[in-house]
Structure 1
Amino acid sequence: MGFLSVLSLAQRWAAERLEPGAAAVDATAGGGVDTLFLARACGPKGRVYAFDVQRDAVNRTRERLAAAARDSESGSGNGSIARRASGGGSAPPSLAPVELLLAGHERMAELVAPEHRGRIRAVMFNLGYLPGEGGDRSIVTRPETTVAALEAALGLLAPKGIVTAVLYPGHEGGDIEAAAVEAWAAALPSVLAQSVQYRFPQKPSAPYLIAVSKR
């Protein structure tokens, strides 16, 4: 049996902190994979915020949520699909309301509702560019805004909450961003947070994971 992928481990660590009614943030919505995962984990009484600067990413995330809503309806045969939040996200009754935000993740401290500040249980980052057909690979996450977003995320976390960041050193500029995130995590005071790295050392260009758990 092999090791978990970095994406699977990020979700596992986030799931350990989440429970029905929790609030969480997808800092890089992309195709909506983590957004949907968080919405399922938080449940209908929770709340999820999903950020992306690309309208295509927001649309893909909205479509993934809508597909989950259709699957839920066809499987259960009941329940209406509620339109959710200002971003126009949709969610079936089994999912948390999702607020889709066409905005940089460095603005999360400003855009997360006051009642959820200091109560967020998980913030997930999947850095780099928007994958898949039609994704613009010239639009990538940047060290300066990523580190600012990580700082904001840490401030929003509840005690024992977690930030996960999947890093991609293999694309142009990705190694610089990864080094900046590593330096940020390593410099955190141990009384504030604990950080960990999960990496495959035989594949130095492969994606890897850094996670930070707030004390």
Structure 2
Amino acid sequence: MQTIKNSLGQSHEYIKMFVKEGDTVVDATCGNGNDTAFLASIVGENGRVFGFDIQERAIFNTTKKLKDLNLSGRVTLIKDGHQNMDKYVDSPVKAVMFNLGYLPSGDHDLGTRPETTIDALSKSMELLITGGIITVVIYYGGDSGFEEKEKVLEFLKSIDQKRFIVQRTDFINQANCPPILVCIEKIS
């Protein structure tokens, strides 16, 4: 039986539509390494993944996951904020994935912030090749994320429609602040 996937599952489906073996991609928020491993499996041995996180624990968790899956050789992990990706990524990219919020089961005070996220999104759009995609899963609710959600969504509305298509997907009948998926495709 087919069902509508949650925001994270939908982001993976979009990424699979755009990313092919040999591509260069970015995981802007490594977390526990799930998206990093997902991207590494798609780009294959000839592709490249750059993964960013500010937390040592996230880099450790991601390193372990990649090693366990034998995917380490195609990934460069960087303990730095995603807003600095342009200092490390030296070639155009096909996709960038963001999961906003905090590290699952981690310190809720160490999450993404609107200013650095907007800066990282701007840099991602410049690194992105025409025909590439950025996915942003916006987690909010509980004790964090409301300010980031509002500021990021406001920024996304201002993106030049002649250069990018921006799509927002919400689950409007779900309780407890369900994540929002935003996809940004570079068209020129």
Residue 147 of structure 2 corresponds to 176
Aligned partner (choices 85, 103, 106) of residue 108 of structure 1 = 85
Aligned partner (choices 130, 141, 166) of residue 195 of structure 1 = 166
Normalised to the residue count of structure 1, the TM-score between the two structures is 0.83
Structure 2 residue 126 is matched with structure 1 residue 125: no
Q: Deviations over 1:129-186 (max 9, x none)?
A: 0013xx1121110000000000010000000111111111213341111111211111
2:108/2:144 contact within 8 Å kept: no
- Percent identity over paired residues: 35
Structure 2 residue 30 is matched with structure 1 residue 34: no
Residue 17 of structure 2 corresponds to 16
Cα distance in 2 for partners of 1:177, 1:171 equals 13
Q: Residue type matched to 1:40 in 2?
A: S
Aligned partner (choices 134, 140, 143) of residue 163 of structure 1 = 134
Higher gyration radius (CA)? 1
2:168/2:182 contact within 8 Å kept: yes
What root-mean-square deviation, in Å, do the aligned CA atoms of Structure 1 and Structure 2 show? Answer: 1.3
Question: Greater CA deviation, 176-185 or 25-34?
Answer: 176-185
Structure 2 residue 67 is matched with structure 1 residue 90: no
Query: Does the residue aligned with 2:156 lie in a helix, a strand or coil?
Result: helix
Structure 2 residue 121 is matched with structure 1 residue 186: no
Residue 46 of structure 1 corresponds to 47
Q: Residue type matched to 2:18 in 1?
A: R
Cα distance in 2 for partners of 1:172, 1:154 equals 29
2:53/2:78 contact within 8 Å kept: yes
Residue 206 of structure 1 corresponds to 178
Q: For structure 1, list consecutive stretches of 5 or more residues without a partner in the other structure.
A: 70-88, 92-96
Residue 77 of structure 1 corresponds to none
The alpha-carbon deviation at position 203 of structure 1 amounts to 2.8
The alpha-carbon deviation at position 206 of structure 1 amounts to 1.1
Cα distance in 1 for partners of 2:53, 2:141 equals 21
Question: Greater CA deviation, 198-207 or 99-108?
Answer: 198-207
Normalised to the residue count of structure 2, the TM-score between the two structures is 0.94
Cα distance in 1 for partners of 2:12, 2:182 equals 12
2:37/2:66 contact within 8 Å kept: yes
Query: Does the residue aligned with 1:131 lie in a helix, a strand or coil?
Result: coil
Cα distance in 1 for partners of 2:132, 2:154 equals 20
2:133/2:184 contact within 8 Å kept: yes
